[in-house]
Structure 1
């Protein structure tokens, strides 16, 4: 038996009013409700929204890899 795995990637966007880290954690937490076997993530874009000259919230685009095969 070989030690190969097959993965699929999805792209999602997480948001937070407080930090980039929270935006990442919010996205992963929400995805984990329906996506199983998540193994890794990659931040592909970071942006934010400005209101009255201040950061109003952060948006982080993630690619999440999850296993579809363990064979």
Structure 2
């Protein structure tokens, strides 16, 4: 039997939503062991001077708990 925990993180990128997701998962994997999935809960952009300054995603990251 496996038990998992879900935690929410926020990640940003100046490039794209996809890059923000990638950076968020990679960073979460450095701190959390046994990361098995993530899903995008929310996404938004910050606008400065009429242009997108950065992309932000809120991710729900699932990781398995160790016995």
In structure 1, C-alpha distance between the alignment counterparts of 2:41 and 2:31, rounded to whole Å:
21
> Alpha-carbon deviations, 1:1-44, whole Å to 9, x = none?
xxx21100110001000100000011111111110000010100
Unaligned runs of 5+ in 1: none
Greater gyration radius: 1
Q: Which residue of 1 aligns with 2:42?
A: 45
Unaligned runs of 5+ in 2: none
Q: Which residue of 2 aligns with 1:56?
A: 53
* RMSD after superposition: 1.2
TM-score (norm 2): 0.93
In structure 1, C-alpha distance between the alignment counterparts of 2:59 and 2:50, rounded to whole Å:
26
After the TM superposition, which segments of 4 or more aligned residues of structure 1 sit over 4 Å from their partners? Answer: none
